[in-house]
């Protein structure tokens, strides 16, 4: 699944091996579909950020910098799930390619490979369960809104996704935006 056509920032030596591996694992070809191309670039960029952060000692968590790492990881998982059809842990499978292309410059990646792989895989498994349930429920809420001619879902529905199912509001808003719908944030906050 080699990259062809006009060069972009993601066609550089740094990203090309990752994008090629993403294409191989997902059976998608780069430059065939805009949404898949975006997903492949998001995943390639985010796996680097996540792996380097974990290598530097910043683990995903619910607080401060750890929360940022968790959100970055979840965003990559969501793009792989939605646009590349990846329903099983996927990001952790990219680590060997990242190490192969960047391990010499960042030997910490090699030294901490097992930790990085374990952390990413556990986070992916956990979020994939949340993602599958949340997307299924959100799809139902969106279908109901569209059926009733509405361009907004209630803040109560968004809050239920968040509070009961652990589905983050920012992810709800992103998916809604992709479908031309919003949520009542004031109602969510109340």
Tokens of residue 173, six digits: 């808003």
Strand 152-153 relative to strand 182-183, pairing: parallel
Q: What is the band of 4 on the pLDDT scale with cuts at 50, 70, 90?
A: very low
Instruction: Please give the average per-residue pLDDT across 132-141, as a whole number.
Output: 94
Tokens of residue 63, six digits: 């607080």
Beta bridge partners of 82: none
**Cβ contact 133:121 at 8 Å:** no
Beta bridge partners of 118: none
Query: What is the spatial distance between Cα 60 and Cα 126, in angstroms, rounded to a whole number?
Result: 12
Instruction: Please give the average per-residue pLDDT across 66-85, as a whole number.
Output: 94
Instruction: Please give the average per-residue pLDDT across 16-31, as a whole number.
Output: 95
First to last CA, the chain: 49
* Alpha helices, H only, the chain: 16-26, 34-55, 64-84, 95-102, 107-111, 113-147, 155-165, 169-178, 185-189
* Res 61 pLDDT > 50: yes
Report the chain's mean pLDDT, rounded to a whole number: 91
Q: pLDDT tens-digit profile of 34-55?
A: 999 999 999 999 999 999 999 9
Per DSSP, the residues of 35-55 read HHHHHHHHHHHHHHHHHHHHH
- Which of these, 60, 88, 83, lies nearest to 72 by C-alpha position? 60
Query: What is the spatial distance between Cα 53 and Cα 34, in angstroms, rounded to a whole number?
Result: 29
* Res 7 pLDDT > 60: no
Tokens of residue 149, six digits: 């001619």
pLDDT recorded at residue 14: 75
**Cβ contact 101:14 at 8 Å:** yes
């Amino acid at each position: 699944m080699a990259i062809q056509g006009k060069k972009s920032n993601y066609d550089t030596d740094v990203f090309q091996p990752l994008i090629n591996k993403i294409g191989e694992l997902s059976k998608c070809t780069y430059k065939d579909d805009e949404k898949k191309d975006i997903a492949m670039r998001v995943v390639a960029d985010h796996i680097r950020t996540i792996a380097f952060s974990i290598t530097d000692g910043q683990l995903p968590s619910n607080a401060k910098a750890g929360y940022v790492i968790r959100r970055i990881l979840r965003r990559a998982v969501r793009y792989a799930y939605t646009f590349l059809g990846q329903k099983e842990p996927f990001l952790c499978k990219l680590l060997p390619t990242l190490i192969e292309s960047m391990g010499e410059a960042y030997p910490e990646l090699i030294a901490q490979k097992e930790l990085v792989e374990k952390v990413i895989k556990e986070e992916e498994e956990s979020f994939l369960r949340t993602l599958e349930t949340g997307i299924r429920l959100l799809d139902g809420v969106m279908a109901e809104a569209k059926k009733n001619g509405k361009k907004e879902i209630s803040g109560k529905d968004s809050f239920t996704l968040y509070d009961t199912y652990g589905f983050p509001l920012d992810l709800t808003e992103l998916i809604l935006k992709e479908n031309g719908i919003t949520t009542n944030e004031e109602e969510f906050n109340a």
